[in-house]
Amino acid sequence: MNYSKTLNQKHQLVVLLTILISLCMAFSLYGQEFPQSNDMRKSLDFMFEHLDRNSVPKGLLRDYAVEYEDFDLFTGKVPLDDDNIGTVVRFGNLLKTISSSAVKVDPLEGFENSIKNIKKNNSGELTLGIMLYEYARIKANALTDGLIRYENGQVYNTNKAESPYQLEYVFAGSCLETSTQQSNRIISYKLQHEKCGN
């Protein structure tokens, strides 16, 4: 019996099983992200089903958003640290959160096509994305002051004169390229403005 051949086969089997288990775990974890987001979206849709969407200033309601990033870290007032440095991933997550907060029309509809056109037409230039959104959130005292009602897991307007909402800002910037091969000192800019929201 050739022991070295048997040991080599066992080693290959262990490596193969390790790879397969790792792939299964990765696919399992990756596959769970979307159902959780979809379940969250369904829960939020149910919770805010009876809310008068026209009463929401700016058409963006943080309480209705699936939060991929914490807006409180991106107010422009919080000191810069590892949790709020503008990376392309965080920038994308902030935009996804804004998009999911839309109670009427998605303010980012068409934005992805604009980015693709910019990337297609640039010749090694870096694109800096800057976002500033004003959004609404339900005031902390809205329920106790009777500005909204919460019954059977759903939010209702009470139509009082005082608004149940407060306005806040989210601000971030990031280079939208993950790598570049060039380094030169020419600074020029083209401004593309996307008006989003009301």
**Would you say residue 13 has pLDDT above 70?**
no
Phi, psi of 183 (to 5 degrees): -145, 110
Entry pTM: 0.70
pLDDT tens string 162-185? 999 999 999 998 887 766 555 555
145 and 167 inside one domain: yes
CA distances, 13 to each of 3, 21, 27, 56 (Å): 15, 12, 21, 59
69 and 157 inside one domain: yes
116 and 166 inside one domain: yes
Name 102's bridge partners. 60
| DSSP secondary structure letters along 41-78 | HHHHHHHTTTS-GGGSGGGBBGGGS--SS-GGG-SSSS
**Would you say residue 158 has pLDDT above 50?**
yes
Number of domains in the chain: 2
169 and 180 inside one domain: yes
| Residue 166, pLDDT score | 97
| Residue 64, pLDDT score | 96
Kindly report which listed range (78-87, 103-112, 158-167) carries the lowest average pLDDT score: 103-112
23 and 119 inside one domain: no
- Give the CA radius of gyration of the chain: 24
The length of the chain is: 198
**Contact assessment for residue 51 and residue 103, using Cβ atoms and an 8 Å cutoff:** yes
What would the mean pLDDT of 132-158 be, rounded to a whole number?
A: 94
Average pLDDT, the chain: 77
118 and 197 inside one domain: yes
What would the mean pLDDT of 48-56 be, rounded to a whole number?
A: 93
58 and 105 inside one domain: yes
| Residue 5, pLDDT score | 54
Domain boundary among 14, 31, 47: 47
59 and 96 inside one domain: yes
170 and 116 inside one domain: yes
77 and 139 inside one domain: yes
Kindly report which listed range (29-43, 49-63, 86-100) carries the lowest average pLDDT score: 29-43
The residue segments making up the domain with residue 25 are: 1-47
22 and 76 inside one domain: no
104 and 142 inside one domain: yes
